[in-house]
């Protein structure tokens, strides 16, 4: 009987700890989303960027990508992302897709502008630059080299 009481008390303690942990997680999530604002970037292509990818300014993470979709009218990639509310980004900033090295993860990177007017919640950014596809570049270099070799042989 003593063993049953100890097991019941332990189970109650574990259950209480799980409830407190769950409350803390949900409370933190709500507080985190309220301390961010949302921006939307329009890109010709958004290869490599995924939901959850970083948004960086000066190499420092300031947010993350929340949604990736396609505009069916003009076939642009739409990236919706959140940014820390304390980070004010000038309206004339450039938003580009870049990556950590040749095979690294892609992310959004801001190159800040000089304007004293800042981007606001829900604003659409059209001053964007799509990422460089390194595999396409290597393929082009190989094709050019092969083309040059074949023209040298024909001379």
What are 63-103's pLDDT values in tens digits?
A: 999 999 999 999 999 999 999 999 999 999 999 999 887 77
Per-residue confidence band for 150, with pLDDT thresholds at 50, 70 and 90: low
Query: pLDDT-derived band of residue 28, with 50, 70 and 90 as boundaries?
Result: low
In the sheet with 77-84, reading across from the earlier edge strand, the strands are 124-125, 36-43, 77-84, 60-70, 54-57, 106-111, 94-99, 128-129
Average pLDDT estimate for 111-120: 94
Instruction: State whether 23 and 51 are in the same domain.
Output: no
Together in a domain, 44 and 100: yes
User: Do 11 and 41 belong together in one domain?
Assistant: no
- One domain, residues 7 and 74: no
As given in the structure block, the two tokens for residue 26 are 């949900």
Q: How many domains does the chain have?
A: 2
What is the separation, in whole angstroms, between the first and last Cα of the chain? Answer: 98
Residues 14 and 82 in one domain: no
Q: Is 151 a member of any domain? A: no
Give the domain extent around 1.
1-34
Beta strands in 21-140 (DSSP E): 36-43, 54-57, 60-70, 77-84, 94-99, 106-111, 124-125, 128-129
**Percentage of the residues of the chain whose pLDDT score is greater than 70:** 85
For residues 25 and 47, state if they share a domain.
no
Whether residue 16 is found in the same domain as residue 89: no
Considering the domain architecture, whether residues 68 and 129 belong to the same structural domain is answered as yes
Selected residue with higher pLDDT from 152 and 123: 123
Checking DSSP bridges between strand 124-125 and strand 54-57, what pairing results, if any? unpaired
Q: pLDDT confidence of 41, banded at 50, 70, 90? A: very high
Same domain, 27 and 69: no
pLDDT score recorded for residue 72: 94
Asked whether residue 135 falls in the same domain as residue 60, the answer is yes
pLDDT given at position 18 = 74
As a whole number, the mean pLDDT across the chain is 85
SS3 100: coil
* pLDDT score of 145: 78
The pTM for the full model equals: 0.67
More confident residue, 88 or 133: 88
């Amino acid at each position: 009987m003593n063993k049953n009481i100890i097991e019941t008390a332990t189970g109650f303690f574990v259950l209480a700890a799980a409830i407190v942990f769950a409350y803390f997680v949900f409370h933190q999530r709500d507080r985190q989303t309220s301390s961010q604002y949302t921006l939307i970037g329009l890109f010709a292509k958004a290869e490599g960027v995924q939901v959850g990818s970083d948004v960086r300014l000066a190499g420092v993470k300031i947010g993350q990508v929340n949604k990736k979709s396609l505009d069916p009218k003009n076939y642009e990639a739409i990236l919706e992302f959140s940014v820390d509310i304390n980070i004010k980004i000038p309206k004339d900033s450039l938003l580009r897709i870049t990556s950590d090295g040749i095979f690294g993860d892609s992310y959004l990177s801001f190159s800040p502008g000089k304007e004293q007017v800042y981007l606001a919640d829900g604003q659409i950014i059209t001053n964007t630059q799509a990422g460089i596809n390194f595999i396409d570049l290597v393929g082009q270099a190989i094709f050019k080299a092969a083309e040059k070799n074949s023209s040298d042989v024909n001379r």
